[in-house]
């Protein structure tokens, strides 16, 4: 049989597809450890925001908490003007620092160590629950944060950080997928996380047991139906409804 000869145009298409595939794989393998990330905030702002978080349980996500944080950090009250987005910077600081803390706060047995290693799905569940539990000290104030994050000005940054959290969780769980499931897994987890986070703000069970059950049910639903959600639409739906409820509780007629 004579060898099959491919035209230059077909060969060009193959090469282009190969390059796209390689770029896709590199993009899919991205995670925070492969790049030198600058701190989310300069030292002065970080000091103020870190101190301000300690006042959130009492003052909520407000300018008052920022002012108290500036004083605790040794700065004048006017120093809060260093934060161009005001209270949202306080929320964003919490989101970023808690995401970055996951790699140290949750440890799994390495392959070959004694003991039964967890599946990737079980690791995803553990990491997601650990991140949710990091909200526990301020959970009674978190609906305020959700209402702020849902505002049109801040929603893009909030959604982007949610996507980074889902990416971090899947990576720390050991996911190495390089096909289209890389995206769908992260979109699905983003939606599940946002739904569970909203549920947690209303959970009065001891140790947030019901939140754990809610998370398990959502993860099981995905496994059963084999489908995935669009993170942006679901995030806006959950946070939007919560924002409306918070505003109504403040006396706003909507």
Which position has the higher pLDDT, 235 or 160?
160
pLDDT value of residue 222: 75
| Tokens 């639903």, residue located | 221
Predicted confidence (pLDDT) per residue in 4-44, tens digit: 444 454 344 434 444 443 443 444 444 544 444 555 789 99
Tell whether the model's pLDDT for residue 244 goes beyond 80: no
Give the residue among 250, 150, 251, 128 at the shortest CA–CA distance from 200.
Answer: 128
With beta carbons less than 8 A apart as the criterion, state whether 242 and 167 touch: no
Tell whether the model's pLDDT for residue 45 goes beyond 50: yes
Alpha carbon 181 to its chain centroid, in Å, reads 18
pLDDT value of residue 217: 92
pTM of the prediction? 0.75
**Least confident window among 6-15, 28-37, 72-81, 132-141:** 6-15
Tell whether the model's pLDDT for residue 65 goes beyond 70: yes
Tokens for 185? Answer: 């897994």
Give the residue among 159, 161, 184, 178 at the shortest CA–CA distance from 27.
Answer: 178
Tell whether the model's pLDDT for residue 73 goes beyond 80: yes
Which position has the higher pLDDT, 32 or 155?
155
pLDDT value of residue 111: 57
Tokens for 140? Answer: 């009674």
Which position has the higher pLDDT, 223 or 235?
223
pLDDT band at 225 (very low <50, low <70, confident <90, very high): low
What are the φ/ψ torsions at residue 180 (nearest 5 degrees)? -65, -20
pLDDT band at 110 (very low <50, low <70, confident <90, very high): low
Question: In this prediction, what percent of the chain has a pLDDT beyond 70?
Answer: 69
pLDDT value of residue 35: 45
């Amino acid at each position: 049989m004579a060898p099959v000869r491919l035209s230059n145009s077909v060969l060009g298409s193959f090469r282009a597809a190969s390059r796209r595939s390689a770029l896709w794989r590199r993009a899919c393998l991205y995670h925070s450890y492969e790049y030198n990330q600058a701190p989310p905030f300069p030292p002065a702002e970080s000091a103020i925001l870190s101190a301000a978080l300690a006042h959130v349980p009492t003052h909520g996500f407000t300018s008052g908490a920022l002012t108290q944080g500036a004083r605790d950090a040794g700065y004048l009250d006017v120093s809060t003007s260093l934060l161009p987005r005001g209270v949202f910077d306080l929320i964003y600081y919490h989101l970023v620092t808690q995401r970055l803390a996951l790699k140290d706060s949750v440890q799994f047995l390495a392959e070959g160590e004694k003991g039964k290693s967890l599946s990737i799905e079980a690791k995803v569940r553990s990491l997601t629950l650990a991140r949710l539990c990091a909200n526990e000290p301020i959970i009674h104030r978190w609906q305020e944060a959700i209402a702020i994050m849902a505002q049109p000005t801040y929603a893009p940054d909030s959604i982007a950080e949610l996507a980074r959290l889902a990416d971090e969780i899947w990576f720390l769980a050991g996911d190495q997928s390089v096909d289209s499931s890389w995206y769908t897994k992260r979109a699905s987890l983003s939606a599940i996380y946002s739904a569970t986070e909203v549920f947690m703000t209303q959970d009065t069970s001891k140790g947030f047991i019901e939140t754990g059950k809610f998370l398990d049910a959502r993860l099981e639903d995905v496994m059963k139906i084999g489908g995935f959600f669009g993170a942006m639409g679901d995030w806006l739906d959950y946070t939007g409804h919560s924002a409306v409820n918070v505003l109504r509780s403040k006396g706003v007629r909507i």
